[in-house]
Structure 1
Amino acid sequence: MKFCSDCGHAVDQLIPPGDHLPRAVCPACGTVHYRNPKVVSGCVPIWEGKVLMCRRNIEPRLGLWTFPAGFLEMDETSAQGAARETLEESQAEVDITGLLAVINVPYVSQIYMIYHGTMRSPHHGVTPESSETRLMSEEEIPWDDIAFPTIWHGLKFFFENRTKGVQDIHTLDLMTRYGRRPEVTTGSKD
């Protein structure tokens, strides 16, 4: 940030009194501007036991597979964001039925909140963001063509829960951007 979004004056990078990190501080109006992680909200939509997957029609990772997910908007809950993203990326309407996972991705300053979702009907289709949508069983998931590690892990958590017959909430810290199975720390809430 170079200019104050409140008054337009050039900002200084300094540690404000009582803080511990450099911040963009406006010397004219005194506003301290904070940079915080972005929240990504996603949904694993289910219809008759199959997961609705979307082939990305946008960068990054054009042509690879994901479940619906995207940045949270202002004035919506993370569950509302997951339902909205599902509609925007697949035309599917879902009922959010619970939290599946929270995945911290500090190397890109993101926090993923992934939800279970039950599709209200079998309707789904392409959108500007998805060139293809398809209901898939676990065996049909294109594991080598998953767009992001967060999606790969979210799917693994979903199928692990289903195998165990539970609805655990998983947590995961992705500490590196390399590989499908990066260095992680995990835990689950019973």
Structure 2
Amino acid sequence: MLVFIDDGSTNIKLQWQESDGTIKQHISPNSFKREWAVSFGDKKVFNYTLNGEQYSFDPISPDAVVTTNIAWQYSDVNVVAVHHALLTSGLPVSEVDIVCTLPLTEYYDRNNQPNTENIERKKANFRKKIILNGGDTFTIKDVKVMPESIPAGYEALQELDELDSLLIIDLGAPH
């Protein structure tokens, strides 16, 4: 299964194609704290361990880890958020290949060439072993990294005249 992921700073957005050709999407908010949560009632708790650190999904915690910075792109919390989005997407737990993004300033170097160090760093981040307390997690087999925004306009660019230009505005996901 190939899953396209926009691992933005406020939400993780997923898109994939079902075997019948149906395109599916899922949005999961980034709201994680650095400790495990306690279960109240019948509400499912998502407690994760990564690199010896404990994290839990908590949509109302004032102690949620800040995700609105460049460090987020390479952080353990980013990995936790992507796995959480996969686990809440309705997809069966399995091996997946993913396509994710980096901001343009991280994807390209000063000479407008792909920054292979940052791209490899992003790929390595998703190869880390994550544990869900009392549950199974997805195995990420292959990671492809694309520059943010550019894939959104790729098809439109193919149809433009050579003197035309294209403006892509990334408004982010609703939160």
Taking structure 1 as the reference length, what is the TM-score of the superposition? 0.24
Of Structure 1 and Structure 2, which has the larger fraction of its residues in strand? 1
Larger Rg: 1
